[in-house]
């Protein structure tokens, strides 16, 4: 499956490790929430990039003690109608200050791509090559937004105020 990260289609550096599989000797690994929570102390002490697949029915506050040691959090969209991962992403970015990779995975519709970016996702695990290209384009499509979020973009109102202030000084 193609991975889009920061607006570019890239190779995935993370290897997904099943719950009952042995960990590879080195390299970036992606484990399930169950495996992570069962052995978080050991997993976070290893000197390798670590990621966790976090279901949308678990509270992200459970990850708070380890956020500085997680290189990747993959938030799951089990169906396109279930948007709880949007809220999880915003909480991770805006409340807990998570700066690692936030990856959307699962059933995401194309008209949700811009919302993924606005809510703090910087990567998307696409099911189809055409979706990967569409997501890449969506990351650059809009430059002004009405709604404020924690993605670093100023809202349209904030931009208007800046322009007005610059014009009057």
- For the whole model, what pTM was predicted? 0.84
**β-strand 3-5 against 123-125: which pairing, if any?**
antiparallel
Q: How much is the average pLDDT of 29-54?
A: 94
Q: What is the per-residue pLDDT for 150?
A: 64
Q: What is the pLDDT of residues 58-80, one digit of tens each?
A: 999 999 999 999 999 999 999 88
CB 139 within 8 A of CB 112: no
Q: What is the per-residue pLDDT for 151?
A: 66
CATH topology for 3-141? TIM Barrel (3.20.20)
Give the range among 16-20, 62-66, 136-140, 156-160 with minimum mean pLDDT: 136-140
Q: What is the per-residue pLDDT for 148?
A: 72
**β-strand 3-5 against 8-10: which pairing, if any?**
antiparallel
Q: Where are the domains of the chain?
A: 3-141
């Amino acid at each position: 499956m193609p991975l889009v990260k920061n607006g570019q289609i890239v190779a995935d550096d993370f290897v997904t490790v099943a719950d009952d599989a042995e960990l590879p000797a080195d390299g970036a690994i992606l484990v399930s929430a169950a495996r992570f929570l069962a052995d978080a102390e050991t997993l976070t002490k290893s000197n390798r990039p670590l990621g966790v697949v976090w279901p949308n029915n678990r509270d992200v506050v459970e990850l708070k003690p380890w956020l500085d040691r997680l290189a990747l959090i993959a938030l799951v969209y089990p169906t396109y109608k279930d948007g709880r991962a949007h809220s999880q992403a915003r909480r991770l970015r805006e409340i807990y200050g998570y700066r690692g990779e936030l990856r959307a995975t699962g059933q995401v519709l194309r008209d949700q791509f811009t919302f993924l970016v606005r809510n703090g996702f910087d990567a998307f695990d696409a099911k189809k090559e055409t979706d990967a290209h569409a997501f890449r384009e969506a990351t650059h499509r809009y430059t002004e937004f009405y709604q404020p979020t924690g993605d670093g973009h100023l809202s349209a109102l904030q931009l208007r105020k800046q322009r007005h202030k610059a014009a009057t000084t």
